Amino acid sequence: MMLNTASQIHFDQVHRRFPEQCWEHVGVTSGEVVDLLGSIVPLGIWRLDIATGLVFWSEDAARIHGMEATNGSVSLVKILTCYHPEDVAVIEALLESATTRRNGFRFVMRVKGGSGSYRLIAVAGRYRADNDGELIGYCHEYQDMVRAVVLEGEAP
């Protein structure tokens, strides 16, 4: 299901997963894949403990959201204050759906930057059955990803 808000920000619930890939024959580890992706744009990794509402995230995930990096957890309530007020209800609905339906999601929403203006970030996540359940995912700055792809495609 894909929906557009009045601001042309989009999101959808993802009921499918791409097939997991086997990399053993390539000789590349999961850590190396994350490093490669992070060399294109800052790539944030996060985990939400559903029972407590606490988010554990990488330094890049914190920076992408305009927050200081911490070794501990950050409350989801605090993280949601980084988003544009019109986008928060949509994000909450996606997280609730992922939790109850045990599906995935992805969205491009507005996050407040240091200057007070908003910029776009892309976020994807999915439910991970583990004890009481968790949501896991990644995020990146949307404009930076588009810019990196364009620059990579330019002739030298």
Relative to beta strand 104-112, strand 118-128 is antiparallel
pLDDT tens readout for residues 90-113: 999 999 998 888 888 888 899 987
Beta-carbon contacts of 104 under 8 Å, excluding residues fewer than 6 positions away, are 13, 14, 15, 17, 98, 124, 125, 126, 127
> 8 pLDDT exceeds 70?
no
For residues 147 and 60, what is the distance between their CA atoms, to the nearest angstrom?
18
Q: CATH assignment of 35-153, given 3.30.70.141, 3.40.50.1820, 1.10.3720.10, 3.30.450.20?
A: 3.30.450.20
Buried b (16+ CB within 10 A) or exposed e, 107-138: bebbbbeeeeebbebbbebbbeeeeebbbbbb
In the chain, where are the structural domains located? 35-153
Nearest to 142 by CA among 94, 100, 107, 99: 107
pLDDT tens readout for residues 19-72: 666 767 888 887 887 788 778 778 888 999 998 999 999 999 998 898 888 888
